[in-house]
Structure 1
């Protein structure tokens, strides 16, 4: 009879996300990953494959969860720009312990740039999904007169994506929630 896994795959993947977020791919040793995941080397290989495969699964999961969380946070605003501000403020208001852990998506871009096709594919997919959600809200803001007429929604989508990435880096560097909220508010005010 086959032996059943004695660990929670999702919990172990979350633990790997924590290690990779804190130390990057190169800075995360297999031993550190195994310790955090509380699994044996063989269990890691059987369930996730090698370190690279584990990293790609962690990045995919992190990006999906992160984008869905940001999109869900847009539901807290009644008008389009308020919805976008709500998402940025929600990010800014996360506990410092969570924010200081770092964004695995931004870390992947900084560590790999465009040198790894698999990493680029995952980060591009997340950026496209988030960009479509932001772009849709900006198009609605344009239709309802909330977006300044001289602002191009496509350029504003890129601007807000870059703002969010910058906020993530600032949070990792210890920026306070108040500083991050001010950045979020200023970014939205610039679109009116």
Structure 2
């Protein structure tokens, strides 16, 4: 007779996601995951597969959650500049209960050169972020907030690279105020 799962999948996946986000893939052991997720090793394997498969699922979960939060930021913004400011601040400061930086950026730096699956997921995530920036920039150009001297695609590419750098540096001891100053300059360069 099959046993009933004694856990909610997304809740324990969120725990794994945060642990990978904090420690990285290589430093996180299966024992760490079992203890942090609060489930039995057999349940982990039966539900999520091996460590690599769990990691890829954690990356997907991260992307889904972040995209939802970013969509909410854009929807709640009155102007394109406000949306850009809030998104960049989110990249720097994150949420209070989340590790610093970004799971996608951390994973790309740690693994993308030798893991095609991680490279693919990180690249896809960066592409989605760039498209979001492009949409916001087009909005700002249409309503006269943002500079028309450059194509929205070029400006989005610039902001995306700045955002990736900010998320990587958010993991260091550099004061967040310094990162915010850099972000503010990047946004100011886009405004009229």
Q: Same fold (TM over 0.5)?
A: yes
Find the aligned partners of 2:95 and 2:66 in 1 and give their Cα distance.
15
**Equivalent in the alignment of 1:156:** 155
Q: How does 1:93-104 map to 2 (within 5 A)?
A: 93-94=93-94, 98-100=98-100, 102-104=101-103
Matched, 1:46 2:46: yes
**Equivalent in the alignment of 1:73:** 73
TM-score when normalising by structure 1 = 0.88
User: Offset of 1:99 from its aligned partner?
Assistant: 4.7
Find the aligned partners of 1:16 and 1:129 in 2 and give their Cα distance.
23
Structure 2 portions without partners, runs of 5+: none
Q: Is the CA contact 1:20–1:104 (under 8 Å) kept in the aligned structure 2?
A: yes
User: Offset of 1:79 from its aligned partner?
Assistant: 2.0
Decide whether aligned partners of structure 1 residues 30 and 99 sit closer, same or farther in structure 2, where only a CA change above 3 A counts.
Answer: closer
Aligned residues: 191
Find the aligned partners of 1:95 and 1:139 in 2 and give their Cα distance.
27
User: Offset of 1:114 from its aligned partner?
Assistant: 4.1
Find the aligned partners of 2:134 and 2:95 in 1 and give their Cα distance.
28
Q: CA RMSD in A?
A: 2.0
**Equivalent in the alignment of 2:23:** 23
**Equivalent in the alignment of 2:139:** 140
Decide whether aligned partners of structure 1 residues 73 and 179 sit closer, same or farther in structure 2, where only a CA change above 3 A counts.
Answer: farther
Q: Which moved more, 1:139-148 or 1:105-114?
A: 139-148
> CA-to-partner distance for each residue in 1:105-134, whole Å, 9 max, x for gaps?
011110122432221222222222222221
TM-score when normalising by structure 2 = 0.88
Q: Is the CA contact 2:20–2:55 (under 8 Å) kept in the aligned structure 1?
A: yes
Find the aligned partners of 1:14 and 1:63 in 2 and give their Cα distance.
12
Matched, 1:186 2:160: no
Structure 1 portions without partners, runs of 5+: none
User: Offset of 1:53 from its aligned partner?
Assistant: 0.5
Aligned to 1:115, the other structure's residue is in SS state coil
Q: Is the CA contact 1:92–1:178 (under 8 Å) kept in the aligned structure 2?
A: no
Aligned to 2:98, the other structure's residue is in SS state helix
